[in-house]
């Protein structure tokens, strides 16, 4: 029993492939906890980054630099009264947030945090992710319909139209990346792990392959994914100045927090699709330029050193905290956090741990880059009008993405033909 439990660690496959139920459960719980923690951190991070870009400070009071603000917010949301409009469709009203959260988290079943750090590997991984994440629109429409409110209905109508129309351009961009997987090996794949492995075999991330083509595909996908998750500048379904809060208007308390959770989770989910398809998933940067065993070792030390640097930063802030009675708890907490991060950093430098952790680290940092991009775009761009949104979706992004697919096919076939002729 224990042997088969520990034996999995050396198998080098995902728990889904190994058919190991215990490890599947552990992985599911880990991913769920990790993503929820990520959402909480993202809440703080977004408010902080937005504040700094707008020359404000953002949350400063709950914990040092507002670090505990998301916990306080979550607590407040749970304690808050849970209202339901009197003429609402009770069952649908109840089921809508559940549906949204379920679809958002379901997508993480196939996200490859590493070769073995995936819940399971599906041979239709990308299609599964796109399908499941676009099921979320169903929950949004249900929420808008069941609330029995004009704002909600308008919001969900807009949201439905927007999510469906951007889905098309998004899938076209994905098709071009999937076509690239067949370049060297001759067999294409839709599996998330297979796509990353194809990038490993071709020694190139798909952003850079067939030079501007991959980049354009990524750009189309990046714009479409912002629209797909209803984020600024495409946040028409919840446009505050026009629709109060769109489909979430009638929701409060815990139900509202479920929508919030689902929004950030699906942001992370689409960011991980982008990372997997174009940014080489869990692969470390510069595999060609800085190759060899020494560089491998150097890059495997990066996660631990990053945590050490964070610990140092915390310690530096710890020494600079104001010496007053009211801040004593904050100061102690920050010192504790510095110690915790330092210990984690040391643990991550151990040989056995660092080989297992580094792929998760690279994947997460690439996803974090996309999350930063989300926030950055939100602070910078004003909201689009609805007809502009549809124009961008159907008249700009869709033709570009179809063009990208055709170009990818043409260049790919040309290279294959050259290879045949040379042989």
Partner 1 sequence: MSFVAVLKKIFLIDLVEGLFVTFRHQHPDNLVTEQYPQERPVISDRFRGQPHLKKDANGKTLCTACGACALACPEKLIKVSSLRDPETKKKVLTEFDFDLGRCMFCGLCEEACSSNALELSPAYELALYSREGLELDRQRMEDGTPRKAYER
Closest CA to 146 of 100, 78, 80, 105: 100
With CB under 8 A, what is the number of residues at the site for partner 1?
Answer: 17
Query: How near is the Cβ of 221 to partner 1 at its closest, in Å?
Result: 16
Residue 377 within binding range of partner 1, rule CB under 8 A:
yes
Residue 164 token pair:
């469906």
Write the interaction track for partner 1 spanning residues 313-352; mark x where CB under 8 A is met and - where it is not: ---------x-x-xx-------------------------
Question: Contacting partner 1 (CB under 8 A), which of 54, 185, 391, 415?
Answer: 54
Query: How far apart (Å, rounded) are the C-alpha atoms in residues 92 and 415?
Result: 53
The answer to whether residues 274 and 107 touch, using CB atoms and an 8 Å cutoff, is no
Query: How near is the Cβ of 392 to partner 1 at its closest, in Å?
Result: 11
Query: How far apart (Å, rounded) are the C-alpha atoms in residues 264 and 154?
Result: 22
Return the residues of window 147-166 that contact partner 1 according to CB under 8 A.
none
Query: How near is the Cβ of 9 to partner 1 at its closest, in Å?
Result: 42
The answer to whether residues 238 and 230 touch, using CB atoms and an 8 Å cutoff, is yes
Residue 76 within binding range of partner 1, rule CB under 8 A:
no
| Residue among 5 and 211 whose Cβ is closer to partner 1 | 211
Query: How far apart (Å, rounded) are the C-alpha atoms in residues 159 and 230?
Result: 7
Q: Which stretch binds partner 1 (CB under 8 A): 33-41, 137-145, 163-171, 372-380?
A: 372-380
The answer to whether residues 418 and 190 touch, using CB atoms and an 8 Å cutoff, is no
The answer to whether residues 274 and 222 touch, using CB atoms and an 8 Å cutoff, is yes
Query: How far apart (Å, rounded) are the C-alpha atoms in residues 114 and 182?
Result: 21
Return the residues of window 188-227 that contact partner 1 according to CB under 8 A.
none
| Residue among 164 and 327 whose Cβ is closer to partner 1 | 327
Question: Contacting partner 1 (CB under 8 A), which of 25, 380, 391, 415?
Answer: 380
Residue 52 within binding range of partner 1, rule CB under 8 A:
yes
Return the residues of window 30-49 that contact partner 1 according to CB under 8 A.
49
Closest CA to 118 of 15, 242, 262: 15
3 state SS of 122: coil
Residues whose CB is less than 8 angstroms from the CB of residue 94 and which lie 6 or more positions away in sequence, other chains included? none
Return the residues of window 234-263 that contact partner 1 according to CB under 8 A.
none
Site residues, partner 1 (CB under 8 A): 49, 52-57, 60, 322, 324, 326-327, 376-377, 379-381
């Amino acid at each position: 029993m224990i042997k088969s439990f520990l034996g999995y660690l050396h198998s080098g496959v995902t728990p889904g492939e190994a058919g190991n139920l215990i490890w599947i459960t552990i992985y599911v719980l880990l991913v769920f906890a990790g993503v929820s923690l990520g959402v909480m951190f993202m809440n703080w991070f977004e408010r902080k980054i937005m504040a700094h870009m707008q020359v404000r400070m953002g949350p400063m009071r709950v914990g040092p630099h507002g670090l505990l603000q998301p916990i306080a917010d979550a607590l407040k949301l749970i304690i808050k009264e849970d209202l339901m409009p009197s003429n609402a469709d009770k069952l649908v009203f109840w089921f809508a947030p559940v549906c949204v959260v379920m679809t958002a988290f379901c997508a993480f079943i196939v996200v490859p945090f590493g070769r073995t750090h995936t819940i399971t590997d599906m041979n239709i991984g990308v299609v599964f992710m796109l399908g499941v994440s676009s099921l979320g629109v169903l929950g949004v429409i249900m929420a808008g319909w069941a609330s029995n409110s004009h704002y909600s209905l308008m919001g969900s109508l807009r949201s439905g139209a927007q999510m469906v129309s951007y889905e098309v351009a998004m899938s076209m961009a994905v098709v071009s990346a999937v076509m690239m997987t067949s370049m060297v090996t001759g067999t294409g794949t839709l599996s998330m792990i297979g796509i990353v492995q194809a990038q490993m075999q071709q020694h190139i991330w798909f952003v850079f392959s067939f030079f501007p083509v991959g980049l354009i595909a990524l750009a189309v996908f990046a714009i479409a994914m912002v629209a797909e998750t209803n984020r600024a500048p495409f946040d028409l379904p919840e446009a505050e100045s026009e629709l109060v809060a769109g489909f979430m208007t009638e929701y409060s308390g815990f139900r509202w927090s479920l929508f919030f959770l689902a929004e950030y989770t699906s942001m992370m989910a689409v960011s991980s699709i982008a990372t997997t398809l174009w940014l080489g998933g869990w692969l470390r940067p510069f595999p060609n330029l800085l190759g060899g065993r020494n560089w491998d070792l150097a890059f495997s030390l990066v996660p631990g050193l990053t945590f050490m640097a964070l610990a140092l930063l915390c310690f530096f802030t710890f020494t600079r905290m104001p010496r007053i009675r009211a801040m004593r708890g904050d100061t102690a907490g920050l010192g504790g956090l510095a110690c915790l991060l330092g210990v984690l950093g040391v643990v991550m430098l151990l040989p056995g741990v660092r080989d297992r952790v580094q792929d998760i680290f690279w994947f997460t940092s690439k996803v974090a880059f996309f999350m930063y991009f989300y926030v950055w775009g939100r602070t910078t761009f004003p909201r689009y009008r609805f007809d502009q949104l549809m124009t961008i979706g159907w008249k700009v992004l869709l033709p570009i993405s179809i063009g990208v697919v055709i170009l990818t096919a043409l260049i790919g076939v040309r290279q294959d033909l050259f290879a045949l002729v040379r042989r």
